[in-house]
Amino acid sequence: MNYYNEIKNELINNEITKKVKDYSKNKSDLTTYYNVGKLLSEAGKHYGEGIIKNFSLKLINEVGKKYNTTTLKRMRQFYWLIEKGAPLGHQLTWSHYRELLPIKDINEIKYYIHISEEQNLTRDELKSRIKSDEYNRLPIEFKEKIISKEELIIKDFIKNPIIIKNNTNKEIISEKVLHQLILEDLDNFLKELGNSFCYIANEYKIKIDNRYNYIDLLLYNIEFNCYVVVELKITELKKEHIGQIEVYINYIDKTLRKVTQDKTIGIIICKKDNKFIMEYCSDSRILAREYQEI
C-alpha cells in the first residue's frame, strides 16, 4: 500500500468537503483524521517513527502548512484513542478532541465526551472543566456507576472539593464572605454541584417555635425533583453542623415538600471534611463537601 498517497487523498478530499458542504465539516474532519491516524499507525509499523516527519514535509509542500509533524501525531493519537473505546461523538469538534488527547485515563475521557455532548459544551468550556480537574473531584461511587451503567442519584454528581472562584481577592474570614463569593458567581457554583440545580433563595427564613432561623442557600434540583439545603462553614466539619442541617431538612420536608417530590437533601460545604463524624451520621440525606478557593 502507498500510505502517503492514501493519506494525501484523505486530507485533500476533506478540504474539498469542508468548502462544498459546510454543514458536514465536523463529521468529515473526525472521519478523515481517524482514517489518517490509522494509516499513520500502520505505516509506522512498517517504516518506523521517522515516517511521520517524512510524510509531513511532503504534505506541507503539496497540501498545506497545517499538516506538520505535531498535527499528524495528534491524528494518530486520535485513532488510538477511538480504538481504545472512546466514542466518536460527532457533536464534538476536532478542537474538543485535541483537549482530550493528553488525558491518559480512558474512563475520564469518556466522561468528558459524555458531558460535552449532554451539555453542549464549547471547546473553551470543556477546557475549563478539564483544567478544574472535575472528573477527579467526583465521588468514586459515581465513576464506578458510570462504568457499570448503574442508575445515578443526585449525590453522585456533587464534586469534592467544590471550587469557589474568588475574583475579588477577599479573604474568607467568615461565612458571610463565603456566602457573598458564591452569590457573585452563582452560575459556576451550581455547575460545581452537578446537573439541574436551580436557585430559590439565600438566607431563607424559617420559623421554629418562636425563633427565626436562616438557611444559607435553598436550591431545587429539577432532574431529581427535590429541595436542596446548603449550609456554609469556614471551619472543619463539626457534629453540631449535622444536627443543624438535619433540622432544616426536616423543616423543608414538612412545610414545602409535596408528596410527588423526593426527600430534601442537605449539603454542608466546609473548609475541611471530618470523615469520622460523617461515618456516624445515620441520615443518608446529608453529605459534606470541602470547598477550595481559587
Q: What is the pLDDT of residue 148?
A: 80
62 near 55, Cβ under 8 Å? no
Q: Which cell is 24 given?
A: 458536514
Please, where in the chain does CATH 3.40.1350.10 lie? 150-293
C-alpha 157: how far from chain center: 10
Q: What distance in Å separates the CA atoms of residue 32 and residue 36, rounded to the nearest whole number? A: 6
Q: What distance in Å separates the CA atoms of residue 136 and residue 105, rounded to the nearest whole number? A: 11
Which CA distances in Å does 225 have to 125, 197, 220, 231, 286?
A: 27, 10, 7, 20, 16
Q: Does domain 150-293 have CATH number 3.40.50.300?
A: no
Condensed to tens digits (0 to 9), the pLDDT of residues 167-197 reads 887 888 899 999 999 999 999 999 999 989 9
Q: What are phi and psi of 7, to 5 degrees?
A: -65, -45
Condensed to tens digits (0 to 9), the pLDDT of residues 32-84 reads 999 999 999 999 898 888 999 999 999 999 998 899 999 999 999 999 999 99
- Give the residue among 291, 214, 224, 232 at the shortest CA–CA distance from 264: 224
Condensed to tens digits (0 to 9), the pLDDT of residues 71-119 reads 999 999 999 999 999 988 778 999 999 999 999 999 999 999 989 998 8
C-alpha 117: how far from chain center: 11
Which CA distances in Å does 261 have to 239, 250, 258?
A: 28, 14, 5
